[in-house]
Amino acid sequence: MTSDSQHPGTPSDQPWKISLGELDEKMGVHIVEESVHRVVATMPVEGNRQSFGLLHGGASLAVGEAVGSWAAVIYASTLGKTAVGVEVSATHHRSARGGNVTITATPLHLGGTLTTHEVLVTDDAGQRLCTLRITNLLLSPRHADEGKRDPSASRLAAQADGTWM
């Protein structure tokens, strides 16, 4: 993360700002727009092709999931929460051999527990290459931190107090 990014789940008047992860950087992703209502990014086809010279379907899924998840975390941050993905599905309509793709996430549902975003991957001509739908679970910081615990320590504590079955 960059130094100006806030940690997801920290209550703030300002929504969380996107910071690229390692895979995003390797794929050449660039953020164009970020808000609760829309996240837009671009990615070059070059460097993200499969062996037949076409944009790799997995690259479309990876970048689509990232953009949809960022959109969910931006929204969640306005509630003092963070988001984790629980489901993603995609339909590949066509592919691309060159140029750039634009990835746009827009909300279908913004709730207190779940978000669902539609993510469109389009080519330079604006043709739809892939449509994704991603659902994210919103978590309070307390629940988000529970996943970072040592599972064996939790099991031992549960055994000690008799709650482990």
Alpha carbons 122 and 131: distance in angstroms, whole number: 9
What is the mean predicted confidence (pLDDT) over 35-47?
98
Q: Which domains does the chain have, with CATH numbers?
A: 22-160 (3.10.129.10)
pLDDT at 156 over 90: no
Q: Exactly one of 33, 46, 65, 118 is catalytic; name it.
A: 65
Nearest-angstrom CA–CA distance, 19 and 45: 21
Q: Using pLDDT thresholds of 50, 70 and 90, give the confidence band for residue 155.
A: very low
Q: What are the pLDDT digits (tens) for 98-148?
A: 999 999 999 999 999 999 999 999 999 999 999 999 999 999 987 555 555
E-only strand ranges, the chain: 30-34, 39-44, 82-92, 100-110, 114-122, 128-139
For 79-102, the pLDDT digits (tens) are 999 999 999 999 999 999 999 999
Asked if 118 is an active-site residue, the reply is no
Is the confidence at residue 158, as pLDDT, over 50?
Answer: no
Reported confidence tier of residue 5, pLDDT bands at 50, 70, 90:
very low
